[in-house]
């Protein structure tokens, strides 16, 4: 029986809140411990919780080829994605990071045109120009009293690497995401992420892999990231997508940078300069243009990717 629309809308909105707040929570945790330690612990907790989900859902009957393909795509998402994002978010505000991550749908339309032969539409080309202008304003509009100009540029480039990683994953794993149950896919990719990040975490010096620097709020933020933003939000989002159109889901996703900006202002005292606000607005406009111009299969795949930190 189809659930009441209010329940579906509530699940979608709660998911957006989780993902919006996740950028601020990541920024807080990364100010206290090393990125590899953060990723190792977060994915370890998430993988244990998702093991329970897998047990309840049942083991998938994947072929060896499918397992290998999942392992390879996991190198792009979550491994490369979180490596780029975690190091980048240390250098820029959580709000700026969320705005850059919001361009994933735009990056997918570009890569789909280059690698899958999907025609480049005029709207997509306009979106590219608008997004470039918006990102340029995010760079040059940085607060002179805040992060250095070099850190701003490096941070934005690193987060842009996360965008490309996610876009490559979506583009190259198009068939995989259509054939494999999304819950099973996410669980196994999370396990691969936990294996890689756990190995990298263990390779650090004792001081580098220590959790001693985490404050009480840091532990709360880390638990929220593993339990809420990774596991809870994913389950809510996939449930809601069963009853909501992908195009409508895109409207919810556009709210994530706004939630991040409000949370970052309250929790971290972050604020965007007027130029950055203008740049952020252009980025959101470009994403909306891109998703409207994209062929439907691309849109369906794009909106199934959790844009979390």
The residue ranking higher by pLDDT, 148 or 54, is: 54
Cα–Cα dist 306/309, whole Å: 9
Please state, in angstroms and rounded to a whole number, the distance separating the CA atoms of residues 24 and 2: 34
Q: Is 53 helix (H, G, I), strand (E, B) or coil?
A: helix
Q: Is the pLDDT of residue 160 over 60?
A: yes
Decide: helix, strand or coil at residue 214.
coil
Rounded mean pLDDT, 183-210: 92
Q: How far is 44 from 10, CA to CA, in rounded Å?
A: 29
Query: What is the predicted pLDDT for the residue at 2?
Result: 79
Q: What is the mean pLDDT of residues 153-161?
A: 93
User: Helix (H) and strand (E) counts for the chain?
Assistant: 16, 0
Torsion sign (Cα): 235, 240, 245, 251: negative
User: Each residue of 228-270: pLDDT tens digit?
Assistant: 998 888 888 878 877 876 656 666 777 888 889 889 999 998 8
pTM of the model: 0.85
Contact in structure between 259 and 280 (CB atoms under 8 Å): no
C-alpha dihedral sign at 296, 115, 86, 95: negative
Residue 215: which region, alpha, beta or left (left: phi > 0; alpha: psi -120 to 50)?
beta
Closest CA to 50 of 235, 195, 246: 235
Across the chain, the runs of DSSP E, i.e. the strands, are none
Q: What is the pLDDT of residues 278-309, one digit of tens each?
A: 888 888 888 777 666 555 444 444 434 555 67
Domain boundaries, the chain: 5-302
d(CA 61, CA 131): 42
What are the two backbone dihedrals, phi and then psi, of residue 91, each rounded to the nearest 5 degrees? -105, -15
């Amino acid at each position: 029986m189809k659930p009441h629309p209010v329940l579906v809308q509530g699940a979608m909105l709660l998911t957006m809140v989780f993902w919006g707040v996740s950028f601020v929570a990541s920024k807080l945790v990364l100010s206290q411990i090393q990125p590899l330690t953060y990723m190792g612990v977060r994915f370890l907790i998430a993988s244990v919780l998702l093991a329970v989900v897998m047990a309840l859902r049942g083991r998938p009957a994947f072929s060896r080829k499918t397992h290998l393909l999942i392992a390879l795509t996991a190198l792009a998402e979550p491994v490369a994605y979180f490596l780029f994002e975690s190091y980048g978010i240390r250098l820029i505000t959580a709000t700026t990071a969320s705005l850059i991550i919001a361009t994933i749908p735009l990056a997918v339309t570009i890569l789909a045109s280059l690698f899958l032969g999907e025609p480049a539409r005029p709207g997509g080309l306009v979106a590219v120009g608008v997004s470039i202008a918006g990102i340029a304003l995010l760079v040059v509009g940085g607060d002179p009293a805040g992060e250095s100009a070099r850190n701003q540029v490096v941070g934005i480039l690193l987060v842009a690497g996360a965008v490309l990683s996610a876009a490559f994953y979506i583009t190259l794993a198009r068939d995989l995401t259509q054939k494999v149950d999304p819950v099973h896919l996410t669980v196994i990719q999370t396990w691969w992420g936990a294996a890689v990040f756990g190995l990298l975490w263990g390779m650090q010096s004792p001081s580098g892999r220590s959790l001693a620097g985490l404050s009480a709020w840091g532990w709360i933020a880390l638990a929220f990231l593993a339990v809420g933003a990774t596991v809870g939000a994913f389950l809510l989002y996939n449930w809601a997508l069963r009853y909501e159109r992908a195009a409508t889901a895109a409207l919810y996703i556009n709210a994530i940078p706004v939630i991040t900006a409000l949370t970052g202002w309250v929790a971290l005292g972050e604020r965007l300069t007027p130029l950055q606000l203008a740049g952020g607005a252009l980025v959101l406009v470009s994403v909306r243009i891109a998703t409207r111009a994209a062929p439907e299969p691309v849109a369906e795949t794009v909106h199934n990717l959790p844009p979390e930190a």
